[in-house]
Structure formats: structure tokens, C-alpha cells
């Protein structure tokens, strides 16, 4: 008998919070300030609000298709062709996300702690965690999230609160920073900061019911928006604009500033721990979903035999970017700039079309 | 039936085989863990590194920069090393001064990290800056503007801690580092760590770290400051004089304790290194130094002041002082407004104090008299702070206080702020200063009785 795995809102929220928030450990605060200047925090408020609205629209359209993920909907809309096209789009997006995170975390780890180790060696650990996570399956991954995400969040708060005495909040002036155009028009594409919300629409088949999806979506978007806001405000209050654009690992630089005499200093070691945990979790869930979507798209019965070859492919693809600057560019100017198209626009269009088709069928049935 | 039994046997064999493979796999994983996690591959033991306690940068004579490193000597090591100074440099330019817990090496190279390479090649350990407590730069190098060649590299590297103290040295950094000796501490590290934090209770200098200095240098709304350090010029008390004191420029008849720059304090004995005053920058170029009193005013006006003793001339008895422990009651309230292009800066300071000593014995503790002292302190501090602010606008032309951070509130957009060119406009600023001071406590006495019960 096949076991049916179902999550509650906390499992789902933990997965989504980690997936969307992992970037706070990377280049994200710098990117936000690069777009909005001293008003980077307003940009975050704005895109968080837009993303919540976007999610609610998707949810309204999704409601009728309880438990159906994007692949199911595509199949419903256009049969196998639809399923394969959607599947390939999602596989591409997930692959890119995984490659960026795998390479960026490994490069950063090499830069700050494992400076003498070869990149290939550092990356093996992240790749191994990803493969092991996928091997044990989504239930184990979800349980790990529920245990580890609160610890990561607590450590994150410790870092943020720890530097508050050194913060100078007058640095948020001039209030509108780079200007309203850059924030509210050009900044709209930065809904891509929440691009990982796509995971929710791939996990819908594991959700207990519609309410779980709705609650998980709202909780995770709000929590992530709050984490983004906190890190951006604290970062700008510590490193005056525009010198804050120099650092490629803002939260690490923030953690290095914590110094309470001889009793509490060098807490960046905690940072490295929570940072790698967040990366392990994100990689596990997205890698699992990559294989899950692949098997679903191409109607493959078992996913476990795919783990090793996919790990090898992802590992190899991660070496394509020349170096850290290139991967940072891909992250800031491609993944977290244009991926909102898939997460929000593609998803809305797909569900909207499915609703139209469904309404049409019902009309036909009632006419008959 | 026989077929069933053989199929059962076959199933058991497969099961056994699977268990065996699984166990072998676990063993393989365990072996991998043992090999990979043991840290042997690129392990770096503490005793393999040479930890720099203090780093000094001077202008080089044979190359761009002269780098002086004070390296920690672990307990038990280097006992046989003789004492000396950086001037004992050998033909390679590397000298070795030493005390019980440190040794000093000086080299000249094209950059800080290039010089570190040269030192690495000549000592048995790999130099690490991760525990450096001081980065000292000579006044000469700071004034030349060449500091920009090094400061970005220091910030980019992961080695230096952001909290590493940053100081400008009158004279050469090499001589300064060679002058650092342990007297009251067991190690130079501890001595420097404590010495650069004395401003918290002396207000003789400022809190300057690599982090704060770098941010100030890069800022569009404030200029940088650094702690001023030097070697004390006196060997015996007979040599004391007030020639280099700043008291005359303040129309005082006798110097107060803060009327000195680092190196000029009339003292002998103890350590030769000394901290007093601050160095002011405009961008990456040093533009001037301020004495210990101005350093105190810098702390008070920026809200970074903690507490310290002040000698206030007795208003009713000439030649006598009232010693007060002055504290910051609240952070200053600062407001910057523009009239046309001219900045108007309102500065409200809130201070309080406790009597430490009343030399004249006048009963200032009496609520009827306490106002006399409060007004005297207010006038004393107002005059001092006004002179200090005047120096920053008219002499240094550098907003070291960061009033620009408040001026920014008048702008909505970053480009407008940049166009306002604050750092150039600061010199035209007009100040309105309000100092509030209250005596809160009178020490362990509530009134003073003169000799013979007068």
C-alpha cells in the first residue's frame, strides 16, 4: 500500500521560510540596497506586499484544484504536451536555483572559513547533503525543517539584536533613496526575491487541505518579508550607503561586528553553522522537488535511482560559472530579477487558464 | 513445493546480500567521514601561526610601505631571544625587538600583504592578523593620503577583525610599536586592548576601529577620526615642561589635564606609549590633530562619551579646582536645517555630574550654591565645545562629528543629497549650542566643613 504523505501548515511554512529566506545569508541585502539605495527597506516592504497580493490571486485561482500541483494543472490543461512543457520550465528554474545556491554557498564557505580547501571538496559536502535529503524523501526533509528552521531563526535574531547597539538608524536617510521610479517601477521585478514561493505550488499535493496552502503561503511570505526587512535596515544602519554595496556577504559582516567584551565575540562561527544548515535544507528540498517533478513530468515510477546521476549533473553544472563574481551576478541580475515571471505570472496564467477550462466544462455539462 | 522452498531460500539470500551491501556502504561512509573530517588535509594548528598583536605602517624608504609587526610569542617559546628594538634591523631590514610575550619584525615592501609575505619567508610561522589588536599608521603616511592604498586591502581581507583599534602615531609607527612594553599586564596584547579602551573613563581619546574608520572614510555625511598615539617624550620628571601644551591657545594660566597631545603628557615611568587626542581626516587624507580636551568634546557631542573626571576652575576662589565626574545624561539632540545653502546646526547636550573634590572647601553642595557650579560647568563646556566646533569648521573643514547624518534628513532622494555636497558645505555651518548640566550627587559628603569648623 502506498503511503500518502501529508503536511500541516508548520511543516509547509518552515520549508517555505527557509527556501525564501536563505538568501539573507548571501548577497540579498546588498542587492536590495543596490536597487533602492537608502530606501532598500521600502523596496522590501513594497515587494513583500506585492508578493502577498500575488499569492492571494494565485490561491483564489488554485482553490478549485485542491491538491493539484503545477504539473497536474498543466496536464489538465493541455495533456502530456502541457505537462512536459511545464515540467521542463520548472525543472530549468529549480536547476538554476540549485546551481546558484550550491556554488554560491560553497564559494562563500571557501572564502570565509575553508580557504585552503579546493572548491570541489567544499562543494561535495553540500552536494552530499542534497543527495541524502532527497534519498530520505520529503517527509524527512519536512521534519528536519520543523526542527532546524526555528534554531536558524533564533540564531538569526541573535545576530540582528547583537549589533543593535552599534546601529545608527539615521543612515536610512534620505528616505526615498534611489527614487520612486527605481523602487516602485523598476523594483517590481524584485518580487523575484520571493521566487522560491514556486515550491509551494509544487508541494500542494502534500498539503492537508486548501487552508494549509493558504496559511503556509501567508505565514511564510510575511515571515520572510520581516526577515528581509530586518536585515536590510540593520545592514544599512551599520554600513553607510554606498559603502554597504562593497560587501558580498552582508550578514556575515554584520555577525563579525558583535563584540561584547571577551564574553561574546567572534559569533560568526554561529553564523557559519546556521548558514550551512539553511543551505543544506534548501538544497535538499529543491533537489528532491527537482527529481520529483522530473519523475512526474516523464512518468517515471521510481525517483531514487535518479538521485546519483542528478547529483553528478548538478555538481558538474555548478562549475560552469567562472568564479564568485559571475555567480553573484547570475544570482542578483538573473535569478532574483526575472524568476518572478515563473513564480507569479506563469503560475497565475496556468491556474487562470485551468479555471476558464473548468468553468467551460461545467457550463457544457449544465447545457447538456 | 520444492520450487517454493528454493524461491524462499533465494529470497533469504538476496535479503542477506542486501544487508551485507548496506553494512559495507555504512562502513564506506564511516571511513569517508574519518578521512574527510579529521582535518588533516589543510589543518592549521595554533602553534603553526604567528599572531600579530600590533601592525604598524610607515612610509618606506626603499619601497612603498614599512610594515612593523609585533608578533605574539607563545608561552615557553622564544625564552632564549635577546631583547632589542626594530632599529636592530639586520641587512634584510628585519629587526627583532622582544619582550617576554612578543617579538617585533620590520620589513619594507610594496603593500601590506606583500610585506607579510616577506615576513612569512623569514620567520618559521605563518603570520595571521586575526588577533591583531592595533593597526597604527604614522602621521606622515596618513597626511600623504597614501593610506588609501592600504585601507581597502585591510577591509577586503578576512584577516583583520573589524574591532581592531586604529591609531595615528605622531612619529613613526615602527618606533611606537617598539616602545610598547608590558608593565601592569602580562602581555602586550592585554596592555593594548585595555589602553585603547581607556577613553571610556578618561575621555582623552576616541573609539576608533578599522570598521569605524573605514566607514567614515567612505561616508558622504561624515569624515573620519582616529585615536592619536605617540611615545612619551620625557624620561625623568625633571624634564617636564609645558612648552608643547595647548593651554596658552585657550587663554589659561596653567594647563588642565587634557591640554596635551599624545606624547606630550608630563609623565615619566610606566610604559612609554601614550594615547591622547585625535587625528582628523578629510577623505583618506589626515588634515590635523586635536588635543585630549577636543577628543572629550568630540565624544560628548557625538554621544559616545561615557564619564570622566574634569577639573573645573573654582568660580569663587582663583587657583582652585572643583573636580567633577561628568557623565552623559542623554544622547545629544541634533537638528540640522538649511537656510539657502547655509547649514544651521542646533546641538543640545545633556550632562550630569557628581562632585569628586572641592579644593576650596566652599559649600557648593548647598542647594543655594549648587547653581553656581552648574552654571560654571555649563559655561566651561560651552566655551570649550564652541571652540572645538569652530576648529572643525574653520581649521579642519571636516565634519568629523557626522552632522551630515542629520543633514540628510532634509533630503528625500539620494541624488539630491549628493548634489548638496555636504562635506564641502560643512565649513559654512552655524551652530546653536545648548548645554544642560545638573549636579546629581555629591560623593560621600553632603556638605563641606572647613578647618577648625569654619
pLDDT at B303 over 70: yes
- Give the one of B42, B158, B408 whose C-beta lies nearest to A170's C-beta: B408
Task: For residue B36, give the chain A residue with the closest CA.
Answer: A121
Question: Which B residues 160-199 touch A at CB under 8 Å?
Answer: 161-163
- The pLDDT of residue A368 is 60
Please state, in angstroms and rounded to a whole number, the distance separating the CA atoms of residues B175 and B184: 21
What backbone phi and psi angles, to 5 degrees, belong to B94?
Answer: -100, 125
Across A17-32, average pLDDT: 92
Grouping H, G, I as helix, E, B as strand and the rest as coil, residue B212 is helix
HEC per residue, A134-190: HHHHHHHHHHHHHHHHHHHHHHHHHHHHHCHHHCCHHHHCCCCCCCHHHHHHHHHHH
- The pLDDT of residue B124 is 82
- The pLDDT of residue B82 is 39
Letter string b/e over residues A308-341, b meaning 16 or more CB atoms within 10 A of that residue's CB: eebbeebbeebeebeebeebbebbbeebbbebbb
CB-based contact (8 Å) between B44 and chain A? yes
- Give the one of B44, B219, B415 whose C-beta lies nearest to A240's C-beta: B219
pLDDT tens digits, one per residue of B169-203: 999 999 999 998 877 777 888 899 899 999 999 99
Q: Looking at the domain assignment, is residue A128 inside a domain?
A: yes
- The pLDDT of residue B40 is 62
Put residue A70 in one of left, alpha, beta given phi > 0 → left and psi -120 to 50 → alpha.
alpha
Would the CB atoms of A242 and B220 count as touching at under 8 Å?
Answer: yes
Substitution target from A33, A40, A167, A174 for chain B, most B beta carbons within 10 A: A174
Instruction: Give me the count of residues in chain B.
Output: 454
* Window from A353-362, B311-320, B386-395 with minimum mean pLDDT: A353-362
pLDDT at B83 over 50: no
Distance in Å, alpha carbon of A118 to nearest chain B alpha carbon: 10
Please state, in angstroms and rounded to a whole number, the distance separating the CA atoms of residues A112 and A119: 12
Note down the domain range covering A205: 9-352
Dihedral of the alpha carbons of B41, B42, B47, B52, in degrees to the nearest 10: 180
Residue A219: how many CB atoms within 10 A of its CB? 17
Would the CB atoms of A257 and B44 count as touching at under 8 Å?
Answer: no
Across A283-289, average pLDDT: 95
Please state, in angstroms and rounded to a whole number, the distance separating the CA atoms of residues B196 and B88: 27
- A114 chain-B contacts, CB cut-off 8 A: 42
CB-based contact (8 Å) between A259 and chain B? yes
What's the mean pLDDT when you consider all of chain A?
91
- The pLDDT of residue B90 is 37
Please state, in angstroms and rounded to a whole number, the distance separating the CA atoms of residues B317 and A151: 65
Distance in Å, alpha carbon of A258 to nearest chain B alpha carbon: 9
Look at residues A93, A163, A97, A156 and name the one whose alpha carbon lies nearest to residue A130: A97
Q: Looking at the domain assignment, is residue A2 inside a domain?
A: no
- The pLDDT of residue A2 is 53
pLDDT tens digits, one per residue of B85-143: 443 333 333 444 445 688 899 999 999 888 889 998 888 888 999 889 999 999 999 99
CB-count exposure of residue B334 (10 Å: 0-12, 13-18, 19+): buried
CB-based contact (8 Å) between B368 and chain A? no
Dihedral sign, Cα of residue A72, residue A74, residue A80, residue A83:
negative
Pairing mode of beta strands B126-128, B49-59: parallel
**Cell numbers placing A140:** 524527512
CB-based contact (8 Å) between B247 and chain A? no
Q: What is the DSSP string of B392-437?
A: IIIIS---TT-THHHHGGG-SSHHHHHHHTHHHHGGG-EEEEEEEE
Number of domains making up chain A = 1
CB A36 within 8 A of CB A43: yes
CB A64 within 8 A of CB A210: no
- Give the one of B41, B162, B408 whose C-beta lies nearest to A257's C-beta: B162
pLDDT at A288 over 90: yes
CB-count exposure of residue B100 (10 Å: 0-12, 13-18, 19+): middle
**Cell numbers placing B165:** 583599534
- The pLDDT of residue B89 is 37
- The pLDDT of residue A238 is 93
Across B161-166, average pLDDT: 92
pLDDT at A295 over 70: yes
- The pLDDT of residue B6 is 62
Query: How many Cα atoms sit within 13 Å of B255 on the Cβ side?
Result: 19
Q: What is the DSSP string of A28-84?
A: HHHHHHHHHGGGHHHHHHHHHHHHHHHHHHHHHHHGGGTT--HHHHHHHHHHHHHHH
- B161 chain-A contacts, CB cut-off 8 A: 256
pLDDT at A311 over 80: yes
Would the CB atoms of B414 and A265 count as touching at under 8 Å?
Answer: no
Q: Looking at the domain assignment, is residue A367 inside a domain?
A: no
CB A225 within 8 A of CB A20: no
Q: Looking at the domain assignment, is residue A73 inside a domain?
A: yes
Please state, in angstroms and rounded to a whole number, the distance separating the CA atoms of residues B191 and B176: 14
- The pLDDT of residue B98 is 45
Look at residues A2, A13, A1 and name the one whose alpha carbon lies nearest to residue A208: A13
Look at residues A342, A317, A343 and name the one whose alpha carbon lies nearest to residue A100: A317
CA B82 from centre of chain: 31
What ipTM is given for this predicted complex?
A: 0.86
Distance in Å, alpha carbon of B321 to nearest chain A alpha carbon: 35
Strand partners, B355: B324
Would the CB atoms of B158 and A111 count as touching at under 8 Å?
Answer: yes
- B162 chain-A contacts, CB cut-off 8 A: 253, 256-257
- Give the one of B211, B219, B409 whose C-beta lies nearest to A173's C-beta: B409
pLDDT tens digits, one per residue of B249-297: 888 888 998 999 999 999 988 889 999 999 999 999 999 999 999 999 9
Across A24-34, average pLDDT: 91
- B219 chain-A contacts, CB cut-off 8 A: 240, 243
Question: Which A residues 92-151 touch B at CB under 8 Å?
Answer: 111-112, 114-117, 121
Please state, in angstroms and rounded to a whole number, the distance separating the CA atoms of residues B222 and B219: 6
Across A51-80, average pLDDT: 91
CB-count exposure of residue B114 (10 Å: 0-12, 13-18, 19+): middle
Q: Looking at the domain assignment, is residue A4 inside a domain?
A: no
Pinpoint the alpha helices (H) of A184-339.
198-202, 210-238, 250-256, 268-297, 304-317, 324-330, 336-338
CATH of the domain at A77: 1.20.1740.10
Across A45-62, average pLDDT: 95
Please state, in angstroms and rounded to a whole number, the distance separating the CA atoms of residues B269 and B235: 7
What's the mean pLDDT when you consider all of chain B?
87
Q: Looking at the domain assignment, is residue A216 inside a domain?
A: yes
Confidence class for position A219, pLDDT limits 50, 70, 90: very high
pLDDT at A52 over 90: yes
Across A201-220, average pLDDT: 90
Q: What is the DSSP string of B317-379?
A: STT-EEEEEEEEEEEEEEEEEEETTEEEEEEEEEEEEEEEEETT---TTSTTTHHHHHHHHHH
Q: Looking at the domain assignment, is residue A1 inside a domain?
A: no
Of chain B, the end-to-end C-alpha distance in Å amounts to 125
Across A124-128, average pLDDT: 92
CB-based contact (8 Å) between B219 and chain A? yes
- The pLDDT of residue B451 is 65
Please state, in angstroms and rounded to a whole number, the distance separating the CA atoms of residues B360 and B319: 9
Distance in Å, alpha carbon of A117 to nearest chain B alpha carbon: 7
Of all residues in chain B, the percent with pLDDT exceeding 70 is 89
pLDDT tens digits, one per residue of A321-339: 988 889 988 988 888 889 9
- The pLDDT of residue B76 is 61
List, in order, residues 6 or more apart from B260 with CB less than 8 Å away: B244, B245, B246, B266, B276, B277, B291, B292
Question: Which A residues 313-342 touch B at CB under 8 Å?
Answer: none
- The pLDDT of residue B42 is 63
What backbone phi and psi angles, to 5 degrees, belong to B430?
Answer: -115, 130
Pairing mode of beta strands A259-260, B307-313: unpaired
Across A287-307, average pLDDT: 93
Q: What is the DSSP string of B67-100?
A: EEEEEEPPTTSSTTPPP--GGG--TTS---EE-S
pLDDT tens digits, one per residue of B54-81: 999 999 999 989 999 999 887 766 554 4
- The pLDDT of residue B84 is 40
Across A197-216, average pLDDT: 90
CB A221 within 8 A of CB A48: yes
pLDDT at A279 over 50: yes
Task: For residue B152, give the chain A residue with the closest CA.
Answer: A246
Q: Looking at the domain assignment, is residue A163 inside a domain?
A: yes
Substitution target from B210, B413, B418 for chain A, most A beta carbons within 10 A: B413
- A163 chain-B contacts, CB cut-off 8 A: none
List, in order, residues 6 or more apart from A242 with CB less than 8 Å away: A37, B218, B220
Amino acid at each position: 500500500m502506498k503511503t500518502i504523505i501529508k503536511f500541516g501548515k508548520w511543516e509547509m511554512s518552515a520549508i517555505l521560510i527557509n527556501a525564501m529566506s536563505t538568501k539573507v545569508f548571501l548577497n540579498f541585502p546588498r542587492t536590495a540596497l543596490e536597487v533602492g539605495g537608502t530606501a532598500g527597506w521600502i523596496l522590501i516592504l513594497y515587494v513583500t506586499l506585492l508578493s502577498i497580493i500575488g499569492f492571494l490571486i494565485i490561491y483564489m485561482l488554485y482553490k478549485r484544484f485542491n491538491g493539484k500541483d503545477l504539473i497536474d494543472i498543466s496536464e489538465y490543461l493541455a495533456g502530456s504536451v502541457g505537462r512536459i512543457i511545464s515540467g521542463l520550465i520548472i525543472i530549468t528554474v529549480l536547476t538554476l536555483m540549485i546551481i546558484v545556491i550550491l556554488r554560491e554557498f560553497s564559494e562563500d564557505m571557501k572564502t570565509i572559513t575553508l580557504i585552503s580547501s579546493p572548491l570541489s571538496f567544499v562543494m561535495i559536502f553540500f552536494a552530499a547533503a542534497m543527495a541524502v535529503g532527497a534519498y530520505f524523501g520529503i517527509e524527512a526533509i519536512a521534519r528536519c525543517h520543523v526542527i532546524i528552521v526555528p534554531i536558524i531563526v533564533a540564531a538569526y535574531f541573535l545576530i540582528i539584536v547583537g549589533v543593535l547597539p552599534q546601529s545608527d538608524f539615521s543612515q536610512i536617510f534620505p528616505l526615498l533613496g534611489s527614487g520612486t521610479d527605481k523602487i516602485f517601477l523598476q523594483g517590481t521585478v524584485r518580487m523575484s526575491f520571493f521566487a522560491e514561493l514556486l515550491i509551494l505550488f509544487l508541494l500542494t499535493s502534500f498539503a492537508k487541505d486548501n487552508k494549509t496552502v493558504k496559511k503556509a503561503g501567508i505565514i511564510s511570505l510575511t515571515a520572510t518579508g520581516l526577515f528581509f526587512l530586518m536585515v536590510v535596515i540593520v545592514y544599512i544602519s551599520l554600513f553607510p550607503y554606498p559603502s554597504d554595496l562593497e560587501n558580498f556577504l552582508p550578514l556575515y559582516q554584520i555577525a563579525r561586528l558583535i563584540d561584547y567584551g571577551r564574553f561574546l565575540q567572534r559569533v560568526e562561527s554561529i553564523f557559519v553553522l546556521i548558514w550551512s544548515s539553511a543551505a543544506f535544507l534548501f538544497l535538499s528540498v529543491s533537489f528532491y522537488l527537482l527529481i520529483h517533478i522530473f519523475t512526474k513530468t516523464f512518468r517515471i515510477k521510481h525517483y531514487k535511482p535518479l538521485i546519483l546521476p542528478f547529483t553528478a549533473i548538478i555538481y558538474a553544472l555548478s562549475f560552469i560559472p567562472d568564479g564568485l563574481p559571475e555567480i553573484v551576478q547570475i544570482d542578483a541580475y538573473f535569478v532574483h530579477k526575472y524568476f518572478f515571471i515563473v513564480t507569479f505570472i506563469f503560475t497565475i496564467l496556468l491556474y487562470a487558464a485551468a479555471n476558464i477550462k473548468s468553468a467551460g466544462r461545467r457550463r457544457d455539462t449544465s447545457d447538456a | 513445493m520444492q520450487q517454493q522452498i528454493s524461491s524462499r531460500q533465494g529470497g533469504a539470500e538476496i535479503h542477506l546480500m542486501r544487508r551485507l551491501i548496506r553494512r559495507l556502504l555504512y562502513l564506506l561512509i564511516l571511513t569517508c567521514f574519518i578521512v574527510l573530517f579529521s582535518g588533516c588535509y589543510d589543518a592549521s594548528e595554533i602553534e603553526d601561526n604567528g599572531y600579530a598583536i600590533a601592525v604598524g605602517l610607515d612610509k618606506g624608504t626603499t619601497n612603498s610601505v614599512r610594515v612593523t609587526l609585533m608578533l605574539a610569542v607563545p608561552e615557553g617559546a622564544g625564552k632564549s631571544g635577546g631583547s632589542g628594538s626594530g632599529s636592530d634591523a639586520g641587512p634584510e631590514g628585519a629587526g627583532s625587538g622582544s619582550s617576554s610575550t612578543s617579538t617585533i619584525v620590520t620589513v619594507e615592501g610594496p603593500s601590506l600583504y606583500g610585506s607579510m609575505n616577506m615576513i612569512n619567508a623569514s620567520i618559521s610561522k605563518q603570520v595571521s592578523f586575526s588577533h591583531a589588536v592595533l593597526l597604527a599608521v604614522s602621521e606622515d603616511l596618513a597626511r600623504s593620503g597614501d593610506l588609501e592604498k592600504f585601507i581597502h586591502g585591510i577591509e577586503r581581507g578576512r584577516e583583520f577583525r573589524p574591532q581592531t583599534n586604529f591609531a595615528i602615531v605622531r612619529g613613526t609607527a615602527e618606533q611606537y610599536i617598539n616602545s610598547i612594553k608590558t608593565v601592569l599586564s602580562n602581555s602586550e596584547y592585554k596592555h593594548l586592548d585595555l589602553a585603547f579602551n581607556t577613553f571610556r573613563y578618561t575621555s582623552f581619546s576616541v573609539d576608533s576601529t578599522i570598521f569605524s574608520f573605514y566607514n567614515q572614510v567612505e561616508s558622504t555625511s561624515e569624515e573620519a577620526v582616529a585615536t592619536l598615539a605617540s611615545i612619551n617624550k620625557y624620561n625623568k620628571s625633571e624634564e617636564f615642561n609645558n612648552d608643547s601644551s595647548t593651554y596658552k591657545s585657550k587663554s589659561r594660566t596653567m594647563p588642565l589635564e587634557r591640554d596635551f597631545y599624545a606624547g606630550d603628557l608630563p609623565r615619566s615611568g610606566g610604559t612609554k606609549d601614550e594615547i591622547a587626542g585625535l587625528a582628523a581626516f578629510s577623505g583618506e587624507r589626515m588634515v590635523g590633530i586635536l588635543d585630549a580636551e577636543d577628543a572629550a568634546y568630540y565624544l560628548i557631542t557625538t554621544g559616545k562619551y561615557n564619564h570622566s573626571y574634569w577639573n573645573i576652575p573654582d568660580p569663587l576662589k582663583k587657583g582652585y579646582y572643583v573636580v567633577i565626574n561628568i557623565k552623559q545624561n542623554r544622547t545629544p539632540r541634533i537638528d540640522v536645517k538649511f537656510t539657502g545653502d547655509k547649514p544651521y546646526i542646533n546641538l543640545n547636550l545633556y550632562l550630569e555630574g557628581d562632585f569628586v573634590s572641592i579644593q576650596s572647601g566652599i559649600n557648593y553642595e548647598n542647594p543655594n550654591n549648587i547653581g553656581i557650579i552648574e552654571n560654571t560647568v555649563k559655561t566651561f563646556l560651552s566655551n570649550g565645545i564652541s571652540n572645538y566646533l569652530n576648529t572643525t569648521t574653520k581649521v579642519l573643514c571636516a565634519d568629523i562629528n557626522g552632522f551630515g547624518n542629520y543633514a540628510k534628513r532634509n533630503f528625500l532622494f539620494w541624488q539630491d543629497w549628493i548634489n548638496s555636497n555636504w562635506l564641502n558645505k560643512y565649513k559654512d555651518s552655524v551652530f546653536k549650542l545648548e548645554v544642560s548640566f545638573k549636579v546629581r550627587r555629591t560623593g560621600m559628603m553632603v556638605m563641606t566643613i572647613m578647618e577648625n569648623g569654619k
